[in-house]
């Protein structure tokens, strides 16, 4: 028989059952906030200024827990080793890498492949400098493990007036180092003793300049994986001889300042004074020179390239956003990556960080000094885990290499002898370090 008491019991039972069923649901509740855990090699304030603050304001349903690697004390290079541990222990949803940490983690297949997102129907990446994604794939086992809104690279600046004054033809893009330094030799008689005109000028130490040339050819003085010195080879002999000839001819100018006092700003000042025919420069130096008053016309060429691969060059993406392969919040993480890597954000925040945007601005047309930054494809450059190598060992290696090169430069020993002595000393030093 129906009674109000039985109706009351039925309603109460339904409420209890509904409560129990609701409490048994699994997975994130859509009405709750999603907390994204971010592991970053850059400080939190910088990332907020580059767009994270705006993203969080527009997405009140998302919060972040920020693991700031820049706050860690100790050797600055130790963070790369610690990142491997934190990737396992903390399982961040998003990792904001520099070029080194990306290579380290991407080669271990730690990141989600973002290529499907980049190739989606709503192609947010249209017009983007493709070499950046190419660099990601080259350094990430073929997958697009990260997105970068900005990058840096190098170009060769030239003083057009000096070329005309001394009757030297202005070279085109795609110079090799040999071609560049042979051109520099044509200015060896320019200027005077106190105010020479440098055909090519660098603020680097001689051994640093040699390594810059070697990097173009993916050449290293040490195979750290096999623990073998590789400083004596026909390729090294060619580089040493090329540099020595350029220095002795007067075409290659090296800063005379103490190593700790050498800055690219000094080279920019000399260039602005009309005393350098050619020099390498990054984006920051180009913008600095564009803001300075110069009495001559100048322009830019692509960086020196490898003869067998003239269409590719070295570059360094920065603020690389990756998604952990085991993230629980992939959709929300992708939203954040798109917000931090879209064209508007890249153009807005690149200049403040002295970096080039992934999208060419209107200033980077065919006649712009910025155009050569966007002209080459990316190339793979081997990266040693140098943060695992004791600093004192690296300093000893540099000293050995520098001493033997200087002996060859002064004519005390031949290039062959310099390379042989360097090879023997480096191998002995490495064997000693391994045995300890």
DSSP line for 12-37: HHHHHHHHHHHHT--S--TTSPEEEE
In this predicted structure, the answer to whether residue 26 has a pLDDT above a threshold of 60 is: no
pLDDT for the residue 192: 65
pLDDT at 29 over 70: no
pLDDT, position 391: 81
**Where residue 2 falls among pLDDT bands split at 50, 70, 90?**
very low
Burial of 49 (0-12, 13-18, 19+ CB in 10 A): middle
Q: Would you give the distance in Å from CA 217 to the centre of its chain?
A: 17
What integer is the mean pLDDT of 421-433?
Answer: 94
Asked if residues 232 and 171 have their Cβ atoms less than 8 Å apart, the reply is: no
State pLDDT tens for residues 35-59. Answer: 999 999 999 999 999 999 999 999 9
**Secondary structure letter of residue 50 according to DSSP:** I
The pLDDT, as a whole number, for residue 383 is 75
CA dist., res. 185 & res. 197, Å (int): 11
- Chain segment 337-356, per-residue pLDDT in tens: 999 999 999 999 898 888 99
111-147 per-position pLDDT tens digit: 999 987 765 545 778 889 999 999 999 999 899 999 9
CATH number 3.40.190.10 is the correct assignment for the domain at 34-151+316-366: yes
Strand 356-357 and strand 198-202: pairing? unpaired
Alpha-carbon separation of residue 125 from 144, 148, 262, 335 (angstroms)? 13, 11, 39, 14
CA distances in angstroms from 284 to 79, 264, 334, 370, listed in the order given:
26, 10, 31, 11
Query: Given the structure tokens 């290293």, which residue do they identify?
Result: 220
Collapsing DSSP to helix, strand or coil, 317 comes out as: strand
Q: Are 180 and 200 in contact (CB under 8 A)?
A: yes
What percentage of the chain's residues is helix, strand, coil (to nearest 5)? Answer: 45, 15, 35
pTM of the model as a whole:
0.86
pLDDT greater than 60 at residue 414:
yes
H or E element: which one contains 343?
helix 343-349
Specify the domain boundaries for CATH 3.40.190.10 within the chain.
34-151+316-366, 155-217+229-313
Instruction: Find the DSSP H helices in 107-260.
Output: 115-118, 130-138, 160-165, 177-185, 206-216, 234-249
The three-state secondary structure class of 188 is coil
Cα→Cα distances 269→180, 201, 292, 317, Å: 21, 12, 9, 27
Q: Please tell me the distance from the alpha carbon of residue 243 to that of residue 206, in angstroms, as a whole number.
A: 9
Fold classification of 155-217+229-313 (topology level): D-Maltodextrin-Binding Protein; domain 2 (3.40.190)
Cα 67 to Cα 26, 56, 186: the distances in Å are 27, 17, 54
Q: What is the mean pLDDT of residues 56-84?
A: 82
CA–CA dist 300, 159 (Å, integer): 9
């Amino acid at each position: 028989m129906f009674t109000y008491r039985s109706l009351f019991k039925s309603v109460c039972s339904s409420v209890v059952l509904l409560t129990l069923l609701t409490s048994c649901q699994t997975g994130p509740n859509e009405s709750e906030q999603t907390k994204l855990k971010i592991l970053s090699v850059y400080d939190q304030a910088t990332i907020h200024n580059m767009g994270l603050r705006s993203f969080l304001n527009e997405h009140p349903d998302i919060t972040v827990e920020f693991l700031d690697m820049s706050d860690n004390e100790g050797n600055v290079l130790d963070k790369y080793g610690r990142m491997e541990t934190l990737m396992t222990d903390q399982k961040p949803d998003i990792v904001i890498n520099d070029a080194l940490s990306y290579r380290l983690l991407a080669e271990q297949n730690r990141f989600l492949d973002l290529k499907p997102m980049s190739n989606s129907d709503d192609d947010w990446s249209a017009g983007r400098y493709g070499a950046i994604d190419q660099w990601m794939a080259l350094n990430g086992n073929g997958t697009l493990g990260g997105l970068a809104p900005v990058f840096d690279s190098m170009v060769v600046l030239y003083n057009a007036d000096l070329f005309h004054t001394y009757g030297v033809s202005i070279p085109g893009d795609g110079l090799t180092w040999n071609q560049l330094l042979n051109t520099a030799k044509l200015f060896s008689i320019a200027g005077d003793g106190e105010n020479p005109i440098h055909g090519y000028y660098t603020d680097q130490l001689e051994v640093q300049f040699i390594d810059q040339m070697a990097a173009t050819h993916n050449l290293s003085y040490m195979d750290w994986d096999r623990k073998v010195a590789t400083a004596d080879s026909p390729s090294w002999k060619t580089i040493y001889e090329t540099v020595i000839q350029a220095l002795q001819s007067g075409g290659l100018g090296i800063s005379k300042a103490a190593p700790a006092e050498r800055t690219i700003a000094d080279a920019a000042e000399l260039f602005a004074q009309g005393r350098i025919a050619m020099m390498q420069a990054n984006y920051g130096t180009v913008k600095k020179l564009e803001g300075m008053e110069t009495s001559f016309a100048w322009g830019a060429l692509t960086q020196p390239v490898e003869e067998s691969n003239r269409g590719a060059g070295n570059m360094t993406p920065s603020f690389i956003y990756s998604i952990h392969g085991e993230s629980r919040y992939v959709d929300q993480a992708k939203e954040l990556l798109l917000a931090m890597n879209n064209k508007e954000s890249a153009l807005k925040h690149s200049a403040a960080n002295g970096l080039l945007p992934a999208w060419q601005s209107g200033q980077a047309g065919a006649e712009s000094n910025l155009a050569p930054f966007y002209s080459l494809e990316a190339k793979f450059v081997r990266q040693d885990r140098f943060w695992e190598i004791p600093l004192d060992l690296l300093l000893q290696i540099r000293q050995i290499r520098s001493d033997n090169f200087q002996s060859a430069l002064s004519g005390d020993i031949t290039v062959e002898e310099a390379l042989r002595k360097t090879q023997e000393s480096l191998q002995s030093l490495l064997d000693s370090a391994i045995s300890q």
